[in-house]
Amino acid sequence: MTSAFVPGPFRRTRRVAWRRWSLWVALGVLVVGLLITLVYLAARYEASQAQSNVERDAADALSDIRSALTRNVQTLQALQTGQSDHEKWTLEAAKLLRENREWVRIEWRSPQLQLLAEADTPFRPAVFARYGRDQSLPEVQQACSTARHISSHAYARSHFVPQADGTGLELMELCLPQVSSGRLTGYLVATYSLSELLASRIGPQLGRSQEVSFTEADGTRLAMHGLARRGTRVFTAQQLLDLPGSTMVLRLDSWRSQPDVFPNVLTALVTLMSIALVTVLFLLGHDTRRRLRVEQDLADALAFRKAMEDSLVTGLRARDLQGYTTYVNPAFCQMVGFAPEELLGHEAPAPYWPPEFAEEYRKRQQVRLVAGNQPPREGFESVFMRKDGTRFPVLIIEAPLINAHGLQTGWMSAVLDISEQRRVEELSRASQERLQATARLATVGEMASLLSHELNQPLAAIASYATGSLNLLREAPEHAASDLQLAMGRIAEQAERAGRVIKSVHDFVRRRDQAREAVAPRDLVDAVLPLVNLQARKLGVRVDIRIAEPLPLVLCDRTMVEQVLLNLARNAMQAMDAARVAQPSLLLQVKLAGASEIGKRWLEFSVADVGPGIPEEVKQQLFTPFFTTKAEGMGLGLSLCRTVVEQHGGYLVFEPNQPQGTIFRFTLPARA
């Protein structure tokens, strides 16, 4: 019996020994890694220190140059103050040139940039003696134009001027406007030598150990100063010298030898190795407890995830690539009325599939599992069956189930019971129908006076023809046959006319189920034309109808679309009447709007008037329910019109009519 238990403790001992050796190996790797890291960090640190020094020197040099340029501007301002005599000005300018080597020329120019007086530096031949001043005159004009624009001193971009000895100078022009009593009296132009500016304004120590230069933004060197000792590594710093009207880059290059590889490494290594040994011993003591804590944390995380899944009201279902159900949460089981044991491990057909849809669902699942088609992100609707046989609609949102290695192992589904949502939508639809019927009744109520006037004419004609027929029968019955026949025909015509008016109102008012049917566009317009003509005759509006031929049939709810056309036409006529338009006219037009996608075309209906248009403050809330500009209006007409059009998949918009008025356009789908 004892020998049977030897392999178990032996294997455990080997595992413990292997774990300890692995920790010692980890210790060796850690020490080596620390050594390499220390050497690398020491080299990086010294390099960063060298780079920081170069950047600091560059910043200091830039600060010195800025200060020098500012002082020079103040010196030039003092030169011009109170100076009106050219000879005295020339003497003072020559004195400044001897004190400031970076200037090679100072000029006094008129407001038209004509040269009044000049002075050249005594330290070199005149820089413009060979090619003349005219070649650099554009830079002077640029600087002075900028100075005049900003009412202060300004610089021009640097330019190269060849010299007689075969060399050349990179020069920069400074222009200082002279203003007296708010009036421009002239300019003071100072020409800088960039190389002399670097030589005179950079510290001597900086020039002996480093190279300082002015460069363009693309790196082109303009001038440089200093000659550094070449080394194995270059440290470069750049600072932007942003002057009014000109921008240059101050570049500082320092050549140094490669940093020492082992700065104070031995002492640091002994200390860090001791710390590493203590750390590994500490890790050996706490390894077991850490593992226990990790296992406990993992158990808590699994319990927390399980609690979250159990508390969800959304049903969760997982299936593998063969279609077998591998997981369901309590919400899904409660939704379908089956226990988890009745659902897990089942393939198609699932117990909650209605028998009449089982084959359809099987094909859909087969396509999903075999072809791997990605379901729509917004999900798809389906019908499930509870254990008691009741059907209910659901919304299913599926996504691939990816494991830790990035491989798909199945499909994860979120199932939502949308029975309550469907009930609310049905109630909303019924309320919308009642509201539309109410709006139609309100429309007919407003037109009651027009209807009475329109029906009074055919009824009066019928009465007149009937009275005339009776008189014919009493006075000459033997000769009244032809006259009676004509009178009876007239009576029939007027009765038919009255019947058409009553029928159009009846068709418009009566409620019926929403049913999409294919209707000719002209039939829609003709159906509302009698009611439109009623109000048009009363208000004196001319109605034009333009229907392009041929047009496809419209797939729509005929009653609702007729209500939209009538509402838009009545609104247009009332707007023109309220504005007292001299020659009011209404245009009803139907044309092909084009195709938005393959196999689906649209027809565009438009109602255009020549009224005053829609104010800007009304446009923002024109389609808002219960918003109206009429004293007796309900504020529901345009809101219902847009709802009806959007239910058909179209859109309702408005735009100004040229030269005046407004056009309302809406689209309806054409039958394929």
| Residue 3 pLDDT | 37
User: What is the CATH code of the structural domain delimited by 64-254?
Assistant: 3.30.450.20
Percent of the chain with pLDDT over 90: 8
| Residue 377 pLDDT | 64
442 Cβ partners below 8 Å, 6+ apart?
A: 634
pLDDT band at 668 (very low <50, low <70, confident <90, very high): very high
| Residue extents of the structural domains in the chain | 64-254, 312-417, 430-511, 515-672
Indicate the DSSP class of residue 552: P
User: What is the CATH code of the structural domain delimited by 515-672?
Assistant: 3.30.565.10
| Residue 13 pLDDT | 53
Answer with the residue of higher pLDDT: 376 or 311. Answer: 311
Answer with the residue of higher pLDDT: 152 or 228. Answer: 152
pLDDT surpassing 90 at residue 619: no
Q: What angle do CA 503, 508, 512 make, to 5 degrees?
A: 110
Q: Which is it for strands 154-155 and 115-120: parallel, antiparallel or unpaired? A: unpaired
| Residue 646 pLDDT | 87
| Whether residue 656 has a cis bond before it, omega within 30° of 0 | no
Please tell me which of 100-104, 289-293, 621-625 the model is most confident about, judged by mean pLDDT: 100-104
DSSP lists the bridge partners of residue 655 as: 663
Q: Give the containing element (helix H, strand E) for 461.
A: helix 448-475
Average pLDDT over residues 604-613: 92
pLDDT surpassing 70 at residue 262: no
Rounded-to-integer distance, Cα 178 and Cα 521, Å: 80
Q: Mean pLDDT check: name the lowest of 184-188, 286-290, 615-619.
A: 286-290
| Residue 609 pLDDT | 93
- To the nearest 10°, report the CA torsion of 72, 73, 74, 79: 90
pLDDT surpassing 90 at residue 8: no
Answer with the residue of higher pLDDT: 262 or 168. Answer: 168
pLDDT in tens, 450-469: 555 456 556 766 766 677 67
pLDDT in tens, 58-99: 888 888 888 888 888 888 888 877 666 788 888 888 888 888
Percent of the chain with pLDDT over 70: 73
Rounded-to-integer distance, Cα 640 and Cα 157, Å: 68
DSSP lists the bridge partners of residue 603 as: 592, 668
User: Position of tokens 């504020």?
Assistant: 635
| Residue 667 pLDDT | 93
pLDDT surpassing 90 at residue 175: yes
| Residue 4 pLDDT | 38
pLDDT surpassing 50 at residue 6: no
Residue 141: name the closest of 48, 31, 55, 245 by CA. 245
Average pLDDT over residues 584-603: 80
Q: Which is it for strands 542-547 and 585-597: parallel, antiparallel or unpaired? A: parallel
User: What is the CATH code of the structural domain delimited by 312-417?
Assistant: 3.30.450.20
Q: Mean pLDDT check: name the lowest of 279-288, 300-309, 378-387.
A: 279-288
Rounded-to-integer distance, Cα 533 and Cα 451, Å: 11
DSSP lists the bridge partners of residue 121 as: none
pLDDT surpassing 80 at residue 645: yes
pLDDT surpassing 60 at residue 372: no
Was domain 430-511 assigned CATH 1.10.287? Answer: yes
pLDDT in tens, 93-146: 888 888 888 888 898 888 888 888 888 888 888 888 777 888 888 888 888 989
pLDDT surpassing 80 at residue 443: no
> How far is Cα of residue 578 from the mean position of the Cα atoms in its chain?
42
- Cα distances (angstroms) measured from residue 201 to each of 57, 193, 211, 345, 639: 13, 12, 14, 87, 77
* 8 A C-beta contact, residue 254 and residue 234: yes
Residue 140: name the closest of 114, 119, 121 by CA. 114
SS3 47: helix
Fold match between 312-417 and 515-672?
no
pLDDT in tens, 483-522: 667 667 767 766 776 676 666 556 555 545 556 789 999 9
| Residue 588 pLDDT | 93
pLDDT in tens, 324-349: 888 888 888 888 888 888 888 877 78
Q: What is the mean pLDDT of the chain?
A: 78
Q: What is the pTM of this model?
A: 0.38
Answer with the residue of higher pLDDT: 142 or 264. Answer: 142
Q: Tell me the residue length of the chain.
A: 672
Indicate the DSSP class of residue 321: T
SS3 150: helix
* 8 A C-beta contact, residue 547 and residue 521: yes
